[in-house]
A = this chain, B = another copy of it.
Amino acid sequence: MKFRRSGRLVDMTYYLLQHPHALVPLTFFSDQYQSAKSSISEDLTIIKQTFEQRGIGSLLTVPGAAGGVKFIPRIGASEAREIIDELCSLMAKPERLLPGGYLYLTDILGNPSIVNQIGRLFASVFADRKIDLVMTVATKGIPVAYAVANQLDVPVVIVRRDSKVTEGPTVSINYVSGSSKRIQTMVLSKRSLKTGSNVLIIDDFMKAGGTINGMVSMLEEFNANLAGIGVLVESEGVEERLVDEYISVVKLTDVDVKEKQIEVSDGNYFRFLNKTN
């Protein structure tokens, strides 16, 4: 199929957005559109400038015979600020308060466009780490984990609370929930995680960090490496945090069940977002 520049720009933009973090050889595009490599290079320069100017991401050029281009989704600091402010105001609504000081987040986590924004936040901040897969625990962390994995172009593994026949043989560990101090179990399908994998742990909510700590123990069981931890909401006022380095998007600073008041502020996200973004 022969394409003019304008059509190529539309189609290449589509292709690159669908394949983040993948190395695409220039010949792939030049064959596809029956265009000279020099024209493709010019197209890519236009796409790169637009992506950077609009805070969509960066386009890396890898030189040489095995080279090509790679689209790395990156969010600009000002857009990250807007998204996080919006999340804070969404979460601070008093009708979210549930008995026991829990927050109703189901509507936020059920909205794909919000979840995608959260995915872009994490994918940007973890873009330069070596990550082979994203791990989360059922159920609420799943959409965020997929949104991140989507942008990093890696698979997702889901740790479960119970063992299911459709998972095949599993590895099970016990861990202590940080806030309730109860012993709990989590299981992971044996086939789903290879030795030596670099794993990004993503979850929706962290209090003392017992569940995340459980996932870290699970990684040890599989001889896999921890590449990072990202949580959407961290809860402050925890006596002893079981997890050291993590990146949080928002922080629940105060929950007053009696007065029906919630205070939400930034997490530590901006400490990790590259200032040059």
Contact = CB atoms under 8 A, between A and B. Distances in A.
Given A14-B13, A54-B11, A165-B99, A110 B46 contact: no
Interface residues of A, number: 58
B150 A166 contact: no
A104 to B, nearest CB: 5
Contacts of A53: 1, 7
Majority secondary structure of chain A interface residues (helix, strand, loop or mixed):
helix
A105 interface: yes
Contacts of A100: 165
A97 to B, nearest CB: 10
Interface in A128-146: 138-140, 142-143, 146
A248 interface: no
Interface in A155-186: 155-158, 160, 165-168
Given A7-B49, A9-B9, 5 more contacts: A10-B13, A13-B13, A98-B166, A111-B155, A166-B205
Interface of A: 1, 5-7, 9-11, 13-14, 17-19, 46-47, 49-51, 53-54, 56, 98-100, 102-107, 110-113, 115-116, 138-140, 142-143, 146, 149-150, 153-158, 160, 165-168, 189, 191-192, 205
* CB-CB nearest 10 A-B residue pairs: A10-B50, A112-B150, A13-B13, A7-B50, A110-B155, A6-B46, A138-B139, A9-B9, A110-B156, A102-B166
